[in-house]
Amino acid sequence: VSDASGCSMIALLHTGAARLPQNLLSRSRQAVCPLFPAGVLKGFSSIVSRKLASHGFGASMAAMSSFPPQRYHYFLVLDFEATCDKPQIHPQEIIEFPILKLNGRTMEIESTFHMYVQPVVHPQLTPFCTELTGIIQGMVDGQPSLQQVLERVDEWMAKEGLLDPSVKSIFVTCGDWDLKVMLPGQCQYLGLPVADYFKQWINLKKAYSFAMGSWPKNGLLDMNKGLNLQHIGRPHSGIDDCKNIANIMKTLAHRGFIFKQTSKPF
């Protein structure tokens, strides 16, 4: 096909048919079809589809038409890193506090909260902790306390409109440890209240097992492998783990999975 205008018209018919009024669409086809054999039109249509898909347009158009509605306006992806050693130290303290705000309609990241936290009971990080998390002493020294970080989380939640009663949001974690054990345990130790929005969440491991029919024994690594996804960043980096969780959620949602709360009410 060498006629540039014909090519443009065919591409328009292929990509914009859903948006054209029926009478205009019919007349456009009648104008173009006599110029080309049916086989040429069909073949060119396939080429256009492949070209669009190679640039991401095909996938996004398909997603817009097939993406299932979620039960929440926003998903708040969270993954703590905490002080640790072998044998384990007690009490553990949160040293990285990341949250990604994921739009429930598009499954895209809209906002990020990320802070490091200074531990107070065991202020010196162990070599094991640094090797595991990649967090060095200088990253936590002089940082806000957990109480101060929780206050900033609340300010961020308010700024993002997440405290509006009409906005449905829920936290998402890889396992139950973050919000069932770590945060309430440290808050109890320090005599701090736990905000109600931290008391319900989605355990991604359970969601994945419901969607895929197998339990991800090795957490994010198994989920990425099961979905043929590339692992993002460094394992046990809180912010990188959040990005992997968000990517897994997006992939499951595009496959038609509807996320539901998995935690039991406190």
For residue 203, give Cα distances in angstroms to 119, 144, 255, 260, 264: 26, 28, 18, 9, 11
241: enclosing H helix or E strand: helix 238-254
Q: What are phi and psi of 25, to 5 degrees?
A: -60, -45
Q: How far is 45 from 11, CA to CA, in rounded Å?
A: 7
Catalytic residue among 73, 81, 131, 151: 81
Output the six-digit token pair for 160: 């993002």
Question: What is the C-alpha separation between 255 and 56, in angstroms, rounded?
Answer: 17
- What residues pair up with 98 in beta bridges, in sequence order? 114
2/115 Cα distance (integer angstroms):
57
* Other beta carbons within 10 Å of 253: 23
Verify whether residue 231 is a known catalytic residue.
Answer: no
Pairing of strands 169-173, 109-116: unpaired
- C-alpha separations of 37 from 9, 26, 32, 215 in Å: 15, 17, 10, 53
Active site residue 55: no
d(CA 80, CA 169) in angstroms, rounded, equals 19
Residue 262, CB half-sphere, CA atoms under 13 Å: how many? 19
Q: Which of 93, 96, 160, 236 is an active site residue?
A: 236
Beta bridge partners of 81: 96
* Enzyme catalytic residues: 81, 236
